[in-house]
């Protein structure tokens, strides 16, 4: 079976720094594929190239068999590729439901009509409520984003990405800054997502990575040093020396 997301020899340089160095990886349908490595390894740069916010200097990116290497970010979303960000990006001052309705509207191509109540767009609200339930925010639909906890806001951001019904979801450190309980909720959410979408996960919480991931790719200085199942990565001597250390024990 062909991978739903694949890169071949992907390269990106910033001056004299090679951020991604001939990166080749493939992500299979309905797997959680973790991307790990030390700070400065090139993980966020790689995610930016996959999402279309950074243009690679070389190599190719295929999404669902389509070459999207030079496709703008919004067109990649239309072809089933969506992402969340390290820094939460939501519409502050609006409710959870309003945020999700706007995300659904952007995907559906529907537009609110002048002199007509927004509530008349029933299908948008129905889908927004479906997404709210998916990210465990049904009870918080009418709460302003400003009043959400950090963890709830990260759940909402995942919901904004899911509004486009992606086949591939890029999650860039979704548990960053979370407490134990918030991290547990996010972990359970990601576990549930594999039934409906494919996840490429960047995360520093190694306990979460080894619990969630079907496969793991390790980046160091922009280069893939290993890729395989979690037990294979735990045993890999180069990975242990370069990054995992005691965390692999």
**Each residue's pLDDT tens digit, 164-213:** 899 999 999 999 889 899 999 999 999 999 888 999 999 989 999 999 99
Let me know if domain 1-80+166-249 sits in CATH 3.40.50.1360.
no
Tell me what pLDDT residue 15 has: 92
Q: Please write the tens of the pLDDT for every residue from 107-166.
A: 776 555 544 555 557 888 999 999 999 999 999 999 999 999 999 999 999 999 999 899
Q: What is the pLDDT of residue 248?
A: 52
pTM: 0.89
Q: Is the Cα torsion angle 75, 77, 78, 79 positive or negative in sign? A: positive
3-state secondary structure 185-233: HHHHHHHHHCCCCEEEEECCCHHHHHHHCCEEEEEECCEEEEEECHHHH
pLDDT of residue 155: 94
| DSSP labels, 72-122 | -HHHHHHTTEEE--SS----TTSBHHHHHHHHHHHHH---PPTTS-GGG-H
Every domain of the chain with CATH number 3.40.50.300 lies at 1-80+166-249
């Amino acid at each position: 079976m062909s991978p739903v997301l694949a890169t071949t020899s992907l390269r990106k340089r910033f001056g004299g720094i090679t951020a991604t160095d001939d990166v080749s990886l493939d992500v299979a349908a309905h797997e959680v594929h973790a991307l790990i490595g030390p700070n400065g390894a090139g993980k966020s740069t790689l995610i930016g190239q996959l999402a279309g916010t950074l243009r690679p200097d070389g190599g190719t990116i295929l999404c669902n068999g389509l070459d999207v290497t030079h496709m703008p970010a919004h067109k990649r979303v239309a072809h089933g590729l969506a992402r969340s960000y390290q820094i939460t990006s939501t519409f502050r001052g609006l409710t959870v439901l309003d945020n999700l309705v706007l995300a659904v509207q952007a995907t559906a191509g529907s537009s609110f009509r002048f002199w007509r109540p927004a509530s008349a767009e029933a299908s948008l609200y129905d889908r927004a409520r479906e997404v709210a339930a998916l990210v465990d925010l049904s009870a918080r639909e009418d709460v302003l984003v400003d009043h959400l906890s950090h963890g709830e806001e990260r759940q909402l951001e995942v919901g904004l990405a899911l509004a486009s019904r992606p086949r591939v979801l890029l999650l860039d450190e979704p548990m960053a800054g979370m407490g134990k309980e918030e991290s547990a909720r996010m972990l359970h959410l990601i576990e549930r997502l594999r039934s409906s979408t494919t996840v490429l996960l960047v995360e520093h919480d190694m306990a979460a990575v080894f619990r969630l991931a079907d496969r793991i790719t390790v980046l160091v200085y922009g280069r893939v040093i290993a890729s395989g199942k979690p037990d294979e990565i735990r045993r890999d001597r180069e990975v242990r020396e370069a990054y995992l250390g005691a965390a692999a024990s």
